[in-house]
Structure 1
Amino acid sequence: MAAVGAQGPVPRKDPAAGVENRISGGVFLGTVIQGHTVNVNLPQTITPALGGLPPISDFFTGRDREIGELLQVLVPGGAQTAPASLVAGLAGIGKTELIVQTARRALQKQDWFPGGVLFVDMFGYDPERRLPPEHALDGLLRALGMPPQCIPPGLQDRSRLYRSALAALAGAGSRILVVLDNVSSADQARPLLPTDGRTAAVLSSRDTLDLGARLFELDVIDETSAIDMLDRAVREARGPGDTRVQDSPDEAAAIARSCAGLPLALRIAAALLADSPARPLSSLAQALEAEHLRLNRLRRQDRAVLSAFDLSYERLDPLHARVFQLLPLNAGPDISTQAAAVMADIDWYETEELLQDLARAHLIEPGRAWGRWRLHDLVRLYADEIGKNHIGADDREEARRSLYKYYIVMVSAAVYARRTFTIDRAEPFHPPRIPGGRFRSNEDAREWLDGERPNLMAAVTAPPLEGRRVWSVALAWFVGLHLSSKWLFDDLVTVTETVLAMSHLTNGSRGAEAKTLAALGRELEHHASHEKPDLRACAFDAQARALAIFREHHARKWEAWALVNFSRLFHGNQQLHKAREALAQAEAIFHELGDQGGLDAAHYVRDCLRLSDQV
């Protein structure tokens, strides 16, 4: 009698002979023989293989919270129990180690999984070793003790038998934990998931799969945990006497930052240190310092961060790949859907779908608010390198130009929508309004400026566009006025110093640079007079450079206005004679030009500073 999945007792009576056979005490997945007298040559006993977890790492750290959360859903009959849990995240983030560590701890809990564990690596992201579900089921059924001749050939039949076996074992008090590693698609995983409501499954994937599973998205580890992992890994390889990591905390922190909290990168770094016990941490920290070489140097024999990323990238179609390649051109920490659409020159809604797909593949991450996206530091380097190899230099530069245009148009609209005192104070050096951008309200403009400030700062301080340095200057002009209105003085100084540096380069737009410096210098002077006296030095530098450019180009009107600004600076510095002298020069130029408006302004400043009645 075939009793696949049957539980004892299984009685069989022979009424004529008055004989009763009874089988009890287990779940039988093979052939069951019953009779009065049985002569049979029994096949070799097949022992179930229900303890095949990979070895765990001794330097696993920084994941106590994640393990605790996973264990909560594995508690038998617990309120948070889920039939399946999916751990998803970037390549090299430590998904396999987390699920194996969690499974090991779950097995140590009394009565949680008395039946043991089934583990299978699906190799979902390796095109050469990817395991089809029917092949995985063949191995799982054998691990459960199923004789090979009893395993059906088709996927559906194998899945039905496998699930029946798990259900029978759970019903008999032998609950099993199923662990599926490196699953790449829902189709690869779904036939392997138990359906009895008692058997638990834990999966790992680089993709957020639609499986109805409880989702756990894994992030990088913090710097303290990264240094701890580095130290433990080196000590494990070289013994407790290797104290290089502890002895060089600054260099260890630099290596951890270069690895950006990615466990795979940290393990490779530790292996490189373990290879040469005489190598100081400063050597590796310096080797990883150059961004354009970092990915190539984070490799050792058959382990490489670059290769891990390749397996995810190679699954992208051309359109997804192009968007991914363009994202690093935004120098800021994240990017909006609209900015990405502008760079890629495709529809906003289509861009949003593409970005969500990339996020589900964990090649990018959702940002701090909906509609914003970010790249892990090492993925950013990878995407940029891939982009340089696959997108022409002209196309990349055109995408950057589109992005800068977008930022300039929008920041102009936002600054003028808010119309803070900075615009009026900048007269006559206020920036021109750029057409094209629009906000529904002052509040929308404020939210946009707050959200984009890190990106605007990064765009201003990045190397200028080829042949378009005036765009960087225009961006700095608007951004500086916004920073002044928010009292973000450190950023305001950074923007001013950036424009100062640009003004000393050749082939620039001197007029725009000088007017921007005059406007920013005026803002710095204002805050130096009221809140931050230490801003005065930067204000002097900005006004001095602006005045020099105006004089060099014989821009008399702007020279006069720069002198008016200088008079305020001198007055704030208690240099009253120089203040009166600057105003007198300005008034003379305005008189020469017949500029009554300028003369009136100079007289007004003189009265405000009370320079008329001071000797």
Structure 2
Amino acid sequence: MPAGSTSVSAAGQSVAAHSVQGGMHYYAAPPPQKPGPVVALPAAPAVFVGREAEADLVRAVLRPAEEAAGPAAVVVGAVAGLGGVGKTALALHAAHHAYRLGWFTDVVFVDLRGYDPDPLTAHQALDVLLRTLRVPAEDIPTAANERAGMLNSVLSALGREERRVLIVADNASSSDQIRPLLPAGDRHRLLVTSRHTHPDLGARLIDLETLAPEAGVELLRATLDAARPGDTRAHDTPEAARDLAAWCGGLPLALRISAAVLVLDPGQSIPGLLAELQARRSRIDAIDAYTHLTGTQRALRATFDLSHHLLAPTHRRLLHLLAISPGPDIGLPAAIALAGEPQPAVLDALRDLTRAHLLTHASSPTGSRWSLHDLVRDHNAYIADEDTLTADAEAVVRLLGYYAVTADQADDHLRALPGTPVPDVFADRAAALAWFDAECDNLLTAIRTHPSPTTAHLASCLANYLGERRRFDEAIAAHGLAAETSRENGDRDGECIALNNLGNSLHEARRSAEAVTALTAVADIYREAGNRLGEGIALNNLGNALLDVGRYDEAVTAHTTAVGIYRELDERNREGRALNNLGLALRAVGRLDEAIAAHTAAIGIYRETGDRHREGTALNNLGLALRAVGRFDEAIAAHTEDLRICRASGDRHGEGMALNNLGNALQGVGRFPEAVAAHTAAVELYGATGDRHRAGWALDNLAFDLRGTGRFDEAVAAHTSAIAIFRETGDPEAEQWALGNLAATEELRGQQGRRRRRFLRRRA
């Protein structure tokens, strides 16, 4: 019933709406002979944004049976979520809305205080509800089961009068608090809020997540505007508002406290407030520092403390360890290593913490994973004392040890040649890659936050994976830290491994001059130590970097020396790699027949060792050399075979390279429509794998194909896009090349236009 209106009760009595008593909103007149409807409900939130979908779900639970689309079997709705996430606000918003629509004649509210030190028992909650429904105090039974029976008797009687009752039970911590409140029949409804999920109630469960960034910003804007219409601070600094919403973790309580600070001080800017908050050690302490100024009833730390004190000691301990562990989430094996407890105990604790909405559960190809909200992590990370610091350090060491051992085993799969025995921890190479995909962010965080010999080794285990996934910036950071850590610990071999991986990553990131410096240092160290295998590896990688900076003769020397070392050590597969790279250097200095011979020899070795992936790489390079001497049909065959290998192994970036070079070979024999298809697909694959620079080359090549088919306007557009990419990626030489190609294409387009005009004049 809308506030300020009247209606007629079953007894024919007029019932006036809306007075305020004790902070509650009552829509009831003094009780007549037969008591009329009662609506005792806290006020709905003045600002309610970002919860439209969840509000629809709650309304679907509250809808009367005759208005529902299906059978009304559900009479209970349970809104669950993290403390401060806005459960009560959602429940009150939905309850007021349902009352205004006339779905309920009576609405009653009880705060179960489930997370307070003195929560209401079901016995006490029944007393509150019965009194609110105007049962005389002297008639309320003292026994709990009798009170529950009386509640159902009262509700049944009201139902016979065509009255519908909505009970809102806020802040339940256990099913025992809720179960006696369940209404009988399908006329009445019970709406529960809790930080726990209660699957045993037969309720419609609605889990409330934190606000999306846009909704968080809108909450700030709406709150400021509601307090002072025309307050444009959130509109004037949208990026700062978004950063503040993100810093608050999308938690409505934190956002409302921050907004209250801004309302209190109209001169405070959002960037200024954010800077003050970020300057404090803890997010929670930073926000709580302002609660006494804003008059906010609940502080964040107190809100989380209420959840924390209800946990079993083992659960509190695990939550603390999860909060101090590196990375955004954790899988079950890692959690077991961190806790140092058996799997059943850890799994039970993870499930209980998830039910309490202190953890978020997600499924992944490698199994279940759990994560903490940023503010929950912050709260639990600082719940420690000196007695626990040693135990915390031991737990992190266990976790890092698990990561290092498992990453080593996964890397074995990535490096293994066909037929080579590998650890059976992973079923195959795909399973090892999936594990790296799931854990990579955790591993990188561990390397960054816990420098040690273990994490330096962990970085080396990530080298192949990061290269395959083309995450070169992260690889550079990880290997740089590993080199520094190894150097500080006097680990010369570890330093060389890290510098070698660093050089390769710099080379792939097109920072080749830096790569030359790093790899030269590695080669010198290995040479001085008499480590021939290490020297060969470093020289082979150094040759690639030298080639990229235009030092072609030195690249030929480096690769030739590497080939000799590998032959001396009978390292056949590595010899193939050096021969393949030598072929590239020989082609750069114009020794094309020798380049073809080197690539052909590399292909033979790879077929001998069963290394199909590297065979594809050598076929690609052979195709380039064959095209350079005009043997286009052989080049097309080589690139086509490489393409087949890349697709079979799922190497999408290699597939893009094969298609790009195949398109160039097709150009050589005038098969322009096929070349257009190949280069178009290459552009898409380079884009999907994040290789903007090579996408630029593929676009420039595509322009030649389009020109060959007379599609000059499209060719000009492709050249223009390539120029923009080369400018963006900082390659002035490639940019000048593409500019020259664009000028030539525009000239040809102009010639085509002139020829067409002459033809039309003659025809006319």
After TM superposition, the score normalised by the length of structure 2 is 0.66
CA-to-partner distance for each residue in 1:296-334, whole Å, 9 max, x for gaps?
Answer: 011102431111000001111111111111112332211
Question: Is 1:217 aligned to residue 207 of structure 2?
Answer: yes
Question: Is 1:274 aligned to residue 263 of structure 2?
Answer: yes
Q: Which stretch shifts more, 447-456 or 221-230?
A: 447-456
- Displacement of 1:340 in angstroms is 0.6
In 1, the alpha carbon distance for the partners of 2:418 and 2:456 equals 17
- Displacement of 1:499 in angstroms is 3.4
Paired position in structure 2 for 1:86: 78
Specify the code of the residue in structure 1 equivalent to 2:171: N
- Displacement of 1:158 in angstroms is 1.0
> Is the CA contact (8 Å cut-off) linking 2:116 and 2:306 kept in structure 1?
yes
Specify the code of the residue in structure 1 equivalent to 2:494: A
Point out where structure 1 has 5 or more consecutive residues left out of the alignment: 1-23, 28-42, 425-432
> Is the CA contact (8 Å cut-off) linking 2:480 and 2:498 kept in structure 1?
no
- Displacement of 1:397 in angstroms is 1.5
CA-to-partner distance for each residue in 1:120-178, whole Å, 9 max, x for gaps?
Answer: 111111113x2222222222112212122221111111110111111221232101111
Question: Is 1:325 aligned to residue 308 of structure 2?
Answer: no
> Is the CA contact (8 Å cut-off) linking 2:547 and 2:585 kept in structure 1?
no
Specify the code of the residue in structure 1 equivalent to 2:267: A
Q: Secondary structure at the match of 1:215?
A: strand
CA-to-partner distance for each residue in 1:259-289, whole Å, 9 max, x for gaps?
Answer: 0000000011111222222122122211222
CA-to-partner distance for each residue in 1:494-521, whole Å, 9 max, x for gaps?
Answer: 4344435546x62352311311331453
In 1, the alpha carbon distance for the partners of 2:122 and 2:492 equals 66
Paired position in structure 1 for 2:534: 558
- Displacement of 1:557 in angstroms is 5.7
Which among 583, 604, 609 is matched to residue 608 of structure 1?
Answer: 583
Q: Secondary structure at the match of 2:229?
A: coil
Paired position in structure 2 for 1:475: 458
Which among 357, 363, 371 is matched to residue 374 of structure 1?
Answer: 371
> Is the CA contact (8 Å cut-off) linking 1:255 and 1:288 kept in structure 2?
no
Paired position in structure 2 for 1:104: 96
Specify the code of the residue in structure 2 equivalent to 1:516: A
Which among 355, 358, 376 is matched to residue 360 of structure 1?
Answer: 355
Q: Secondary structure at the match of 1:182?
A: strand
Task: Show the 5 A alignment for 1:589-604.
Answer: 604=579
Which among 414, 428, 431 is matched to residue 444 of structure 1?
Answer: 431
Paired position in structure 2 for 1:405: 401
| Residues 545 and 455 of structure 1, relative CA distance in 2, 3 Å threshold | farther
Specify the code of the residue in structure 1 equivalent to 2:77: S
Paired position in structure 2 for 1:248: 237
| Residues 411 and 136 of structure 1, relative CA distance in 2, 3 Å threshold | same
Specify the code of the residue in structure 2 equivalent to 1:460: I
Paired position in structure 1 for 2:225: 235
Q: Secondary structure at the match of 2:385?
A: helix
| Residues 606 and 263 of structure 1, relative CA distance in 2, 3 Å threshold | closer
In 1, the alpha carbon distance for the partners of 2:437 and 2:152 equals 53
Which among 72, 75, 90 is matched to residue 60 of structure 2?
Answer: 72
Specify the code of the residue in structure 2 equivalent to 1:89: G
- Displacement of 1:402 in angstroms is 0.9
Task: Show the 5 A alignment for 1:139-150.
Answer: 139-150=128-139
Task: Show the 5 A alignment for 1:42-53.
Answer: 50-53=38-41
In 1, the alpha carbon distance for the partners of 2:79 and 2:581 equals 69
Two-structure CA RMSD over aligned residues (Å) = 3.3
Q: Secondary structure at the match of 1:194?
A: coil
In 2, the alpha carbon distance for the partners of 1:248 and 1:416 equals 50
- Bigger RCO (CA 8 Å, 6+ sep): 1
In 2, the alpha carbon distance for the partners of 1:142 and 1:362 equals 33
Q: Which stretch shifts more, 168-177 or 311-320?
A: 168-177
CA-to-partner distance for each residue in 1:25-61, whole Å, 9 max, x for gaps?
Answer: 599xxxxxxxxxxxxxxx9968567221111222211
Specify the code of the residue in structure 2 equivalent to 1:310: D
Which among 551, 559, 572 is matched to residue 548 of structure 2?
Answer: 572
> Is the CA contact (8 Å cut-off) linking 2:556 and 2:582 kept in structure 1?
no
- Displacement of 1:456 in angstroms is 2.2
Paired position in structure 2 for 1:15: none
> Is the CA contact (8 Å cut-off) linking 2:85 and 2:209 kept in structure 1?
yes
Specify the code of the residue in structure 1 equivalent to 2:369: R
Paired position in structure 2 for 1:342: 337
- Displacement of 1:105 in angstroms is 0.6
Q: Which stretch shifts more, 50-59 or 339-348?
A: 50-59
After TM superposition, the score normalised by the length of structure 1 is 0.81
> Is the CA contact (8 Å cut-off) linking 1:72 and 1:80 kept in structure 2?
no
Point out where structure 2 has 5 or more consecutive residues left out of the alignment: 1-9, 14-30, 592-764
Paired position in structure 2 for 1:510: 492
Question: Is 1:55 aligned to residue 47 of structure 2?
Answer: no
Identity of aligned residues (%): 33
Paired position in structure 2 for 1:18: none
Equivalent pairs, count: 550
Q: Secondary structure at the match of 2:41?
A: coil
> Is the CA contact (8 Å cut-off) linking 2:560 and 2:582 kept in structure 1?
no
In 2, the alpha carbon distance for the partners of 1:402 and 1:551 equals 36
| Residues 191 and 552 of structure 1, relative CA distance in 2, 3 Å threshold | farther
Specify the code of the residue in structure 1 equivalent to 2:372: L
Task: Show the 5 A alignment for 1:402-551.
Answer: 402-419=398-415, 438-464=425-451, 469-500=452-483, 502=485, 506-519=488-501, 521-522=503-504, 525=507, 528=508, 534=510, 536=512, 539-540=515-516, 542-547=518-523, 550=526
Specify the code of the residue in structure 1 equivalent to 2:157: A
In 1, the alpha carbon distance for the partners of 2:453 and 2:423 equals 18
Specify the code of the residue in structure 2 equivalent to 1:407: Y
